Structure formats: structure tokens, C-alpha cells
Amino acid sequence: MSEPRSSTSPRILGIYLNDHLAGATAGMQLARRTAREHRQAPFGGDLEDLAVQIMEDRQALLTVMADLEVPVRRYKVYGGWLGEKAGRLKPNGRLRRRSGLSTVLELESLRIGVEGKALLWHSLLAAAGEDPRLDPDRLTELLDRARRQRATLASLHETAATTMFSPGRTEPREAVVGT
């Protein structure tokens, strides 16, 4: 006889999903701002595509939460929004304008967020066999998209970091990085 599986309490699931929603809110805000700041850069189109996908992924999370009857905790959503705004206050070596370092740090933050999102979809996919409210095909699609986002961000980050930290570069790093 197999042991019965313990089911996750709705309270714990709610905390988990709302924490990810807070992160998704911050990530969406950061992605939109980063795309806007780099609209004229050579990789601006890639950032715009990512921003749209990140907004869609946040909406997908809200749909999953509704399917699982998990209420949205507005204070966590506002916390994610506020956290992204507070993150803008970090020193970047300049007082009044962006530096190339800002781009590198934004891309790193987006990579961290996408990794967390991939882990969310992976965790929900693992639970889909036990909960018929979770659509494994949709979760697989979302996980695959997060993996593609991760690859795009890795490439953009490598370019930005290489440009920013290359020794002997004579032109301003800001111009090369696209700020």
C-alpha cells in the first residue's frame, strides 16, 4: 500500500503564489521601464518583446490563481510595485543620468526574475498531476517560454557586461551599452 500524498494547504499555496505575483509585478515594471529606456538601442526590440511576454506571464499567473481560487493579496502586489521603484534609487556612479552599469544591473535583475518564474512554472507543473485545475500543457508552454527568455537575457547581459567592463575601450561605455 502506498502512503497517501500530503496536500499543500490552501494557505501555503496562497502565500507562494502571491509572493510570485509580487515578483511578477516588480519584474513587469522593470521590463517595461528597461524596454522604454532602450527603445533606440540595437536590442530595444528584444527588450520590448520580453516586456510584453513578462506582462502576459503575469496575467497567466493571475489566471492560475483564479483557477486555484487563490485570492490576490493586494498588499503584496503593491509591495512588488514599490520594491521596483525603490530599486531605481541604487547608486550607479552618476547623479542625474543613467550609466552603462544601470543596464547591466537591470538585465541581471530581469534574469533573476525570469529564473524565479521558471521555477514557479516548474513547481506547478510538478503539482499538475495531483490537481486537475492545473493545465500541464499550458504550464509546459509557460516554462518553455521562460527558458527562451532566460536565453535572450543571457545574451543581452553578456553583450552589455562585455561592453561595460572591457579594458581599454576608448568610446563612452554608455553609448555602446545603449543608455
Q: What is the 3-state secondary structure (H, E, C) of 7-29?
A: CCCHHHHHHHHHHHHHHHHHHHH
Q: Residue 47 in contact with residue 156, Cβ under 8 Å?
A: yes
Q: What pLDDT was estimated at residue 3?
A: 39
**Model confidence at 173: pLDDT above 60:** no
Q: What pLDDT was estimated at residue 88?
A: 56
**Percentage of residues of the chain with pLDDT beyond 70:** 75
> pLDDT tens digit string along 154-171?
999 999 999 888 876 554
4 vs 149: which has the higher pLDDT: 149
Q: What pLDDT was estimated at residue 113?
A: 95
> pLDDT tens digit string along 91-123?
554 445 566 688 899 999 999 999 999 999 999
Average pLDDT over residues 48-55: 97
**Model confidence at 1: pLDDT above 90:** no
CA separation for the pair 158, 141 (Å, rounded): 26
**Quick one: which of 30, 57, 47 has its CA closest to 146?**
57
